[in-house]
Structure 1
Amino acid sequence: MNFSYSFFTLNMNSPFITHKATHLKVPHVLINIFLNKIIGYGQTVILPYYFYNLDEMNNIFKSLEKLKIFFSKIQKEKIKDLNEVLNRIRIIKSINLNIYSAVEMALLDLFSKMNQKYLHEFLSIEKREELITSMTLGIKSIDLLKIDLDKYKNWPVLKIKMSNNLKDNYYKVKFIFENYKGKIRIDANGSWSISEAKDMFKFLENYNIEFIEQPLAADSFRNLAELKQSTKIPIILDEDCKSIKDIKKISNYADGINIQAYKSGGILNLIEMFKEAKRFNLKTMIGCQAESSLGISALSHIASLADFIDLDGHLDFIDDKYYGVSIENGKITLPENYGIGVKINERQL
Structure 2
Amino acid sequence: MVDKDVWRCAREEIPAHQAVLVELSADGCSGWGEASVFMTADYNSTAEVLLRRMKDVRPLLRDADPTAPAQTWDRLRPILADCPFALGALDIAGHDLAARLSGAPLYDHLGLPDPTGRSSSYSIGLDTVTAMVDKLRRVPGWRLYKVKLARAGDIDVLRALREHTDAPFWVDGNACWRPEELFDVLDLLPDLGVVALEQPFGTNEVAAHRRLRAAGVLPVFADESVTTPDQVASAVGVFDGVNIKVLKAGGITPALEMVRLCRESGLGSMLGCLPESSAGASAAAHLAGLTDHVDLDTIALLATDTGHGALLDDAGRIRLASGPGTGFVPDWESPAHIEPAGSLL
Structure 1 SS opposite 2:35: strand
Q: How does 1:1-349 map to 2 (within 5 A)?
A: 10-47=1-38, 49-51=39-41, 59-72=49-62, 74=63, 80-92=67-79, 96-128=83-115, 130-164=117-151, 166=153, 169-328=154-313, 329-348=315-334
Deviation at 1:82, TM superposition (A): 3.5
Identity over aligned residues, as a percent?
20
Structure 2 SS opposite 1:248: helix
**2:341 is matched with which residue?**
none
Whether contact under 8 Å (2:66, 2:94) holds in the other structure is no
Whether contact under 8 Å (2:175, 2:201) holds in the other structure is yes
Q: Summarize the Cα distance change of 1:62–1:343 in structure 2 as closer, same or farther, 3 Å threshold.
A: closer
Whether contact under 8 Å (2:152, 2:181) holds in the other structure is no
Whether contact under 8 Å (2:104, 2:324) holds in the other structure is yes
Alpha-carbon distance in structure 1 between the residues aligned to 2:168 and 2:25: 43
Alpha-carbon distance in structure 1 between the residues aligned to 2:3 and 2:174: 21
Whether contact under 8 Å (1:44, 1:102) holds in the other structure is yes
Provide the aligned length of Structure 1 versus Structure 2.
334
Segment drifting more, 49-58 vs 28-37: 49-58
Alpha-carbon distance in structure 2 between the residues aligned to 1:80 and 1:313: 29
Alpha-carbon distance in structure 2 between the residues aligned to 1:219 and 1:309: 26
Alpha-carbon distance in structure 2 between the residues aligned to 1:103 and 1:95: 14
* Structure 1 or 2: more strand by fraction: 1
**Deviation string, structure 1 residues 187-244 (Cα, Å, up to 9, x no partner):** 0111211101202312213322110111111121111222222342111111101111
Q: Pairwise CA RMSD of aligned residues?
A: 2.2
Whether contact under 8 Å (1:63, 1:94) holds in the other structure is no
Deviation at 1:79, TM superposition (A): 5.9
- TM-score, normalization by structure 2: 0.90
Q: Summarize the Cα distance change of 1:126–1:53 in structure 2 as closer, same or farther, 3 Å threshold.
A: closer
Alpha-carbon distance in structure 1 between the residues aligned to 2:156 and 2:300: 27
**Deviation string, structure 1 residues 277-335 (Cα, Å, up to 9, x no partner):** 11111110000011101111100101111100000112222220111111111111111
Q: Which runs of 5+ in 1 are unaligned?
A: 1-9
Relative contact order (C-alpha < 8 Å, sep 6+): which is higher? 2
Q: Summarize the Cα distance change of 1:85–1:218 in structure 2 as closer, same or farther, 3 Å threshold.
A: closer
Deviation at 1:143, TM superposition (A): 2.0
Whether contact under 8 Å (1:188, 1:216) holds in the other structure is yes
Whether contact under 8 Å (1:197, 1:216) holds in the other structure is no
Q: Which runs of 5+ in 2 are unaligned?
A: 338-345
Deviation at 1:346, TM superposition (A): 4.1
Segment drifting more, 92-101 vs 190-199: 92-101
Deviation at 1:68, TM superposition (A): 2.5
**Deviation string, structure 1 residues 130-152 (Cα, Å, up to 9, x no partner):** 30000001111122122222212
Deviation at 1:180, TM superposition (A): 0.9
